[in-house]
Amino acid sequence: MITIMRKVSTFNPERKIINEAAKIITSGGLVAFPTETVYGLGADALNPDAVRKIYAAKGRPSDNPLILHVHSPEHAAQLVHMNAQAERLAKIFWPAPLTLVLPAKPHIPLITRGGLDTAAVRMPDNPTALALIEASHTPIAAPSANISGRPSPTDAQSVFADMDGRIDFILDGGSVDIGIESTVIDLTNHEKPLMLRPGGMSREIIENELGLTLSVPGTDSAKRSPGTRYRHYAPSIPVRIWHEESDIDTHTAGYMGVHDTHKNFGDVVLFDDFANYARGLFAGFRKFEREGVSCIFVEWPESNSGICEGLRDRIKRAAGCYV
C-alpha cells in the first residue's frame, strides 16, 4: 500500500485536500489526521471492516476500544445516550481534550467499542479534524496513529515513521498543541463519575464544573478501560525516572524535563514549563531513539497543576511502572 501525505493548513484546511481524505474514509480506508492532543488514525466508526483495519495497522489488541470523534454534541447524541452531566460537559468544554464514556446506541459496531456496551465520544479542538469529520458524514473512530505501545505521534513525520505502507493517507497539519491524549471520563453512573485516564484536560476544571470529585477506578478498572492494561507510549530504549541520587553513567544517556540536573548527559532537552514538557514528551522519546542513547531519563513532574497528572501517567507507563 502506498501512503500519501499531504500538507494542510491546520487552521484553514484546504477544502480539496479534506475532500480527498474524506473520500478515503467513506470508502473504508485509513486516514491519519491531526487533533489538538496527538495524531489520530481514523476510519469510518460505523463500518466494521474499516475499523478492523485500524487494529491491523497498529497491531492493537481488539478488546481495546476506540474513541469516536464527532463534530458536535448533537453528533455525539446520535451515538451514545447522553445524560445531564455529559450534555453539560459537552456544552461547556467541547471542542476539547475530553472524552466521555456513555451507554452505546446499538448501531455502533462491536469492534469499534471493543465488545463493550459503552462507547467513548469526543469532539476534537482542531479545525482540520472537524472538517474531516464533517466532510466524511460519519463519526471517525481514531486511536493514536502509532504502532501499538509506541509513543504517540505529535507530528506527521512521526506518523509516517510508524505507518508508511500501512495506511492510505496522512493529513500533515504540523505539530500538535497539547501532546498527550485526551482525559477519559466514564459518566455511565452519574452518582460516581470516574476518571479512566488523565490527559489533556485537568481533573480540577472538570470537577469544578460537575461540582463533585471524580473517582479513581477500582480494581475492575481494567475491565472498564481496557486500554489502560497495556504498556504504552514507550520508545525502544529504556525510560527511567530521574532521581538526584541516580548513580549512573550519564554520558550515553539522554535527559528530558523542566529542571536541569547539571549532570553530564549525552543529550538534554529542557522545556520552559510543564505544558511544553507534555507537548514535547513523545517527540523527545522519538528524537532520543533516533540518536541511539542508552537510556532516557525523565523528570517526574511533581506539580499538581494543569497537565501534570496526565504527564505523570504517560511517564509512568513509558517507564513501565504500573499503577
Contact flag: residue 181 with ligand AMP (CB under 6 A): yes
- Residue 177 near residue 200 (C-beta atoms within 8 A): no
| 28 near ligand AMP, judged by CB under 6 A | no
Q: CB under 6 A: which stretch of 9-17, 64-72, 246-254, 302-310 binds ligand AMP?
A: 64-72
Interstrand relation of 4-7 and 169-172 (parallel, antiparallel or unpaired): parallel
- Tell me the residue nearest to Mg ion as measured from the CB: 144
Helices (H), the chain: 15-26, 48-58, 73-77, 84-93, 127-136, 156-163, 203-210, 221-224, 274-291, 308-318
Q: Strands 98-103 and 194-197: what pairing? A: unpaired
Q: What angle do CA 104, 32, 59 make, to 5 degrees?
A: 70
Axis-axis angle for helices 127-136, 15-26 (nearest 10): 50
Count of residues near ligand AMP by CB under 6 A: 21
Minimum gap (Å) between residue 148 Cβ and Mg ion: 8
Kindly report the backbone phi and psi dihedral angles of residue 276, in degrees, each rounded to the nearest multiple of 5, phi listed first. -70, -35
DSSP codes of every residue in 256-323? EESS---S--SEEEE-SSHHHHHHHHHHHHHHHHHHT-S-EEE------STTHHHHHHHHHHHTT---
Stretch of 170-178, 220-228, 298-306, 313-321 lying at the interface with ligand AMP (CB under 6 A): 220-228
Site for ligand AMP in 288-317 (CB under 6 A): none
Of residues 55 and 255, the one with the C-beta less far from Mg ion:
55
- Output 44 or 299, the one with its CB closest to ligand AMP: 44
Site for ligand AMP in 68-127 (CB under 6 A): 101, 113, 116, 118-120
Does the footprint of ligand AMP cover residue 65 (CB under 6 A)? Answer: yes
Q: Is 53 in the site for ligand AMP (CB under 6 A)?
A: no
Stretch that binds Mg ion, among 81-89, 142-150, 164-172, 196-204 (CB under 5 A): 142-150
Instruction: Name the segment binding ligand AMP (CB under 6 A); options: 58-66, 71-79, 252-260, 289-297.
Output: 58-66
Q: How far, in Å, CA of 148 to CA of 157, rounded?
A: 17
Closest C-alpha to 302, from 293, 291, 311, 314: 311
Find the angle CA(141)-CA(142)-CA(147) to the nearest 5 degrees.
140
Angle at 266 between CA 263 and CA 268, to 5 degrees: 70
CB of 137 to ligand AMP, least distance (A): 22
Q: How far apart are CA 208 and CA 206, in angstroms?
A: 5
Region near ligand AMP per CB under 6 A, out of 74-82, 222-230, 268-276, 298-306: 222-230
- 221 scored as a contact of ligand AMP (CB under 6 A): no
Helix or strand or coil: residue 40? strand
Task: Decide if residue 224 touches ligand AMP (CB under 6 A).
Answer: yes
CB of 275 to ligand AMP, least distance (A): 19
Contact call for residue 144 and Mg ion (CB under 5 A): yes
User: Which listed residue (32, 50, 176, 184) binds ligand AMP by CB under 6 A?
Assistant: 184
228 sits near Mg ion (criterion: CB under 5 A): no
Where does this chain bind ligand AMP (CB under 6 A)? 64-67, 101, 113, 116, 118-120, 143-144, 181, 184, 196-197, 224-228
Residues found near Mg ion in the complex (CB under 5 A):
143-144
